[in-house]
Amino acid sequence: MLRASSRPVRRWRRYAMCAAAMVLAASCATPVSEQDPGVGAASSGPEPKGEYPRTAVYYLDQDSLPPIDELARYDLVVIDHEWAQRAPQSFFRELDEADPAPRLLAYVNLVDYPDALGSAEYWPGRYDLWQFSNSTSSSFPPQWLATTASGQTVSEWPQTSLTNLTDVAPQVQGRIFAEYAAQWVVDQVWATGVWDGIFLDVWGDRIYTADRDRWDIDGDGIDETEDQIYGPDGPWARGLARAEQIMRTQMPEAILIANSNRILHRSPLNGRAWESFADPRADRDPKTDVQDYVTIASAGEQQPPGIYMTIDRQRGDPEAAERYRRARFFLTATLLQDGYWAPMGEHYGELAYYDEMDGAGQGRGYLGRAVVENPSWEMMNQPYTAGIGTVAEGVYRRDFDNGMILVNLGIEAQSVTLGRTYRHLRGRQDPSVNTGELVDSVRIPAEDGLILVFP
């Protein structure tokens, strides 16, 4: 578990340091054109080797924040960067002083330029980023928006325009948009001193949701194709890499997480997020998602500390038994690797918490450490031995100091012999599953999971 004492600098202490240094930073910062384009320094601190389960919250409500004690139940908290200006300083101080304190990441979207914003008092960060003078007037350079050669705007989200994050985008005052956006994160978000890192939304090597597959990336009057724009070494990915390097160079201890299909090889990022992880109701294939998550997280190509996050929310209005089955499935699937699971309610402004997250009152990290840290997909698919592997068709097992997890990624229920006696959690939400009973064998339905502890 990531505890406050393991941080290179306590968040609240850094607030004072950053406030005192902002004037110096403005005069001493290296111009982006002179910075080393290489990977640069990794964020400080060791790879987290804490206890499990690891939990997170992805809270994007703009009108209110949950109470401190509710947020402090999670190991990782993502909230909008605007809260650094809206919330009282006491909120961040008290959250930082919670024991154990969660890592706090600022949600940032540098991809979707809005058609309009509310008041400057409510959206101070976005007003600055997008250069709004009032709710509908902006001086943001049109050269930095993705447009076709005929002048049609590209969009990937309603009522927004896609920005041109390629490294061949037209320069404005000597900078491409990727450089401008990254410097804004450094100067306006990180400089507040209240964050442990940045959560970059829609930050992938390809924007699959764009409504146009051809547009003019360099302003030469000719539309480039998707294959000419995207790809691991394409101009879009190179632009992201440029922005990442600026952020890493000037924020060496920041945790940088991408919420999309970003390739991490030689990247300054610390990890990735999977939204709607393994959720068939969101048209996701569970086994494909789990394989992708385990493979990428185990590859170790991120900067330390490696942090991976899976996000799921309730969809539709399932009965309680179905809601709890989905929660068990997503959490145990996340526990096949070392990531953080973020369960949400019906939307990203509603928290959710399940018995399996703290063992029905046993406390955070109740499973203890994993017997096998950072397992690969190949290890997962070997017959179970020494703490990890398959125990039936489609059923995976991983052992921990204080128990074990099973998850069935298959399409049929399976019976599993455990090899010794374990105990079900004694739950309050779904007592038909978390019975507290002692067992030496169990039956796991399809797309379900189970956490068992030592008696």
Structure tokens at 127: 């007003």
155: enclosing H helix or E strand = none
Q: To 5 degrees, how large is the angle CA 31–CA 138–CA 150?
A: 90
Residue 377 to residue 373: CA distance in whole angstroms: 12
247: helix, coil or strand?
Answer: helix
Mean pLDDT for the stretch of residues 307-318: 91
Task: Say what the pLDDT of residue 383 is.
Answer: 98
Its pTM stands at 0.91
pLDDT reading at 98 higher than 70: yes
Per-residue model confidence (pLDDT) at position 265: 85
Distances (CA, A) of 69 to 58, 60, 411: 16, 18, 39
pLDDT single digits (tens) 122-146: 999 999 999 999 999 999 999 999 9
**Stronger pLDDT, 428 or 171, i.e. the higher one:** 171
In the numeric block, which tokens belong to residue 30? 């290296």
**What pLDDT score does 8 carry?**
36
Percentage of the chain modeled with pLDDT above 90:
86
pLDDT band at 15, cuts 50/70/90? low
pLDDT at 266: 82
pLDDT value, residue 208:
93
Confidence of residue 47 (pLDDT cuts 50, 70, 90): very low
Residue 19: the pLDDT is 46
Quick: pLDDT tens for 319-377: 889 999 999 999 999 999 999 999 999 999 999 999 999 999 999 999 999 999 999 99
- Stretch 259-276: mean pLDDT: 94
pLDDT band at residue 81 under the 50/70/90 scheme: very high
- pLDDT for 405: 98
What pLDDT is attached to residue 45?
39
Q: Is 40 exposed, middle or buried (0-12, 13-18, 19+ CB in 10 A)?
A: middle
Angle (nearest 5°) at CA 69 between 354 and 12: 125
Report the pLDDT value the prediction gives residue 235, as an integer from 0 to 100.
98
Q: Which residues of 191-200 are buried (b: 16+ CB within 10 A; e: fewer)?
A: bbbbbbbbbb
Q: What is the C-alpha separation between 129 and 132, in angstroms, rounded? A: 8
d(CA 451, CA 236): 42
Average pLDDT value for residue range 151-162? 97
Q: Residue 12: pLDDT band by 50, 70, 90 thresholds?
A: low
pLDDT number for residue 37: 37
Is residue 195 within 8 A of residue 254, CB to CB? The reply is yes
Where does the pLDDT of residue 50 fall: very low under 50, low under 70, confident under 90, or very high at 90 and above?
Answer: confident
Mean pLDDT, residues 17-27: 41
Specify the pairing of strand 255-259 against strand 197-201: parallel
Give the whole-number percent of the chain exceeding pLDDT 70. Answer: 89
Q: What is the pLDDT of residue 89?
A: 95
- pLDDT of 14 reads 54
pLDDT, the chain, mean: 90
pLDDT per residue as tens digits for the range 208-235: 999 999 999 999 999 999 999 999 899 9
Residues 147 and 51: their CA atoms lie apart, in Å, by: 48
